[in-house]
């Protein structure tokens, strides 16, 4: 037994590379990544009919039909705006709810689901999730998507 072991002192261990892997570099997460995660989490909530305003959904539907227009990738983040810092993020969501649901309950469930998904997947602290309800989908309303002239 060495003198340091007898006295209870620990001997510093030298690691190759100079420290833990977590301290060797920086991870950055783009706003769009957080927007997609939040968009998917919000859509999972019962009572959310769509994301975004009527105008953005109409433009998105047209864009989805144009080859190379972004398609499903762009529509996932529709209605979501994220501001991402080094350790925190704030989100604004615009949703359309189904008629008959409690808007307060849907908004609360969306907020909980979004916070859980973003924090779990990114490690960022979600400081706020602002939700704007821009419309309510009535049972007899048709979808806002324009008819395709192509056949």
Which helix (H) or strand (E) segment holds residue 108: the answer is helix 103-122
pLDDT for 57 equals: 44
Tell me how far apart the alpha carbons of residues 109 and 47 are, in angstroms, rounded to a whole number: 10
CB 20, CB 46: distance < 8 Å: no
Contacts of 11 (CB under 8 A, 6+ apart): 2, 4, 5
Reduced DSSP (H G I as helix, E B as strand, rest coil) percent helix, strand, coil of the chain, to 5: 40, 20, 40
CB 114, CB 129: distance < 8 Å: yes
Q: How confident is the model at residue 59 (pLDDT cuts 50, 70, 90)?
A: very low
CA geometry: angle 75, 43, 91, nearest 5 deg? 80
CA distances from 17 to 14, 22, 25, 27 (A): 9, 12, 12, 18
Q: How confident is the model at residue 56 (pLDDT cuts 50, 70, 90)?
A: very low
- Whether 13 has a pLDDT exceeding 90, the answer reads no
Tell me how far apart the alpha carbons of residues 42 and 80 are, in angstroms, rounded to a whole number: 9
pLDDT digits (tens, 9 = 90+) for 29-55: 999 999 999 999 999 999 999 999 765
pLDDT digits (tens, 9 = 90+) for 135-144: 999 998 876 5
CA distances from 119 to 45, 98, 109, 126, 142 (A): 17, 27, 15, 7, 36
pLDDT higher for 20 or 100? 100
CA distances from 30 to 38, 60, 103 (A): 13, 21, 30
Across-strand partners of 50? 96
Q: How confident is the model at residue 5 (pLDDT cuts 50, 70, 90)?
A: low
């Amino acid at each position: 037994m060495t003198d340091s072991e007898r006295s209870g002192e620990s001997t510093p261990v030298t690691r190759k590379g100079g420290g833990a892997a977590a301290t060797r570099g920086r991870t950055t997460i783009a706003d769009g990544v957080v927007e997609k995660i939040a968009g998917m989490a919000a859509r999972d909530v019962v009572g959310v009919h769509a994301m975004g305003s009527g105008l953005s959904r109409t433009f998105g539907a047209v864009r989805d039909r144009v080859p190379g227009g972004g398609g499903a990738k762009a529509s996932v983040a529709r209605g979501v705006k994220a501001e991402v810092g080094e350790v925190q993020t704030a989100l604004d969501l615009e949703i359309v709810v189904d008629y008959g649901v409690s808007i307060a309950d849907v908004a609360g469930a969306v907020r909980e689901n979004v916070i859980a998904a973003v924090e779990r997947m990114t490690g960022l602290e979600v400081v706020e999730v602002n939700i704007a309800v821009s419309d309510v989908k009535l049972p007899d309303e048709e979808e806002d998507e324009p008819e395709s002239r192509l056949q």
